[in-house]
């Protein structure tokens, strides 16, 4: 059906913040290790604070500190970096206030661990990103879609949405199952670097021309390791 290679791997330790590029990653039934394990809420309630409601949040980054010399490891709590580059430990006093101040969260924020009842990884096809850029006449960054995996294959642009759910897709020696295309929220229309600028044309184009889908969700049951450079096939 198609063949290609894994070009990039990404992990987002805190939902809504920019993530970190990886060389390799462990994936299991719960998804990619260390991905979206923390989120932000308003204090004392369940109302989520996310990139769609507070786009300046994407001016922050989050990463897991290197453990035992392996930059892709997950242990302890992530480190958060504010737009100016200052680093904050996840449990450091003053972090919540600083976050709220910089993203205009008037009701405050609280960093919490996220309870996930599903696991999946988001795969984006480089050819579709290129074609989307051509259609809109400007570069569209793949980072807008917050993928875990970016692949370059011989599949025609947007042809991935014709693949049947349940199809086996291999990343390296590992067989994943296609769950479904990713239905997009408003997040890709906001600048992925936190400038608070919105691209409404992109949002409308994805809805009208792509049935509001971009990227594929894949799942696997048993723990496996995927790497940049791994072959991709279906």
The bridge status of strand 38-41 relative to strand 121-125 is unpaired
pLDDT at res. 70: 59
Quote the pLDDT of residue 65: 76
Does residue 44 sit in the same domain as residue 77? yes
Q: According to the model, what pLDDT value does residue 66 have? A: 59
Q: Are residues 126 and 101 in the same domain?
A: no
pLDDT at 119 over 90: no
pLDDT > 70 fraction of the chain, expressed in percent and rounded? 97
Tens digits of residue pLDDT in 96-106: 999 999 999 99
202: Cβ–Cβ under 8 A, 6 or more apart, which residues? 136, 140, 144, 188, 189
From the list 106, 129, 88, 102, the residue with the least C-alpha distance to 194 is: 102
Q: Provide the pLDDT confidence category of residue 120 given band limits of 50, 70 and 90.
A: very high
Give residue 116's pLDDT: 75
Write down which residue in 113, 137, 163 finishes a domain: 113
Candidate from 19-28, 40-49, 113-122, 184-193 with smallest mean pLDDT: 113-122
CATH number at residue 158: 2.40.33.20
Q: What is the pLDDT of residues 57-77, one digit of tens each?
A: 999 999 987 555 555 778 788
Tell me: do 141 and 223 sit in the same domain.
yes
pLDDT over 60 (residue 179):
yes
Question: Domain range holding 153?
Answer: 3-13+118-233
Max CA distance (Å), the chain: 52
Quick one: pLDDT at residue 71? Answer: 58
Output the pLDDT for position 210.
Answer: 96
Of 43, 45, 52, nearest in space to 15 by CA: 52
The pTM score is: 0.94
**Are 97 and 138 within one domain?**
no
Q: Report residue 79's pLDDT band, with 50, 70 and 90 as the boundaries.
A: very high
Q: Which of 145, 168, 161 is nearest to 218 (CA)?
A: 168
Q: What pLDDT is recorded for position 67?
A: 52
């Amino acid at each position: 059906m198609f063949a290609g290679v894994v070009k990039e791997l990404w992990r987002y330790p805190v939902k809504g913040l920019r993530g970190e590029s990886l060389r390799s990653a462990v994936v299991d039934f719960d998804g990619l290790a260390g991905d979206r394990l923390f989120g932000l809420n308003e204090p004392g309630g369940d109302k989520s604070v996310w990139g769609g409601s507070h786009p300046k949040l994407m001016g922050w980054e989050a990463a897991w500190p290197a453990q035992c010399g392996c930059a892709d490891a997950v242990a302890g709590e992530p480190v958060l970096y504010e737009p100016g580059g200052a680093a904050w430990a996840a449990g450091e006093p003053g972090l919540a206030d600083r976050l709220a101040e910089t993203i205009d969260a008037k009701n405050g924020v609280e960093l919490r661990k996220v309870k996930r009842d599903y696991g999946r990884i988001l795969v984006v096809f480089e050819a579709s990103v290129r074609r989307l850029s051509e259609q809109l006449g400007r570069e569209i960054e793949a980072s807008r879609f917050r993928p875990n995996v970016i692949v370059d294959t011989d599949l025609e642009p947007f042809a991935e949405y014709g693949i049947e759910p349940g199809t086996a897709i291999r990343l390296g020696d590992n067989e994943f199952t296609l769950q479904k295309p990713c239905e997009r929220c408003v997040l890709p229309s906001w600048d992925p670097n936190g400038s608070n600028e919105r691209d409404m044309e992109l949002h409308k184009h994805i809805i009208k021309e792509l049935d509001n889908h971009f990227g594929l969700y894949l799942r696997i049951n048993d723990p496996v390791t995927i790497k940049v450079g791994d072959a991709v096939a279906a």
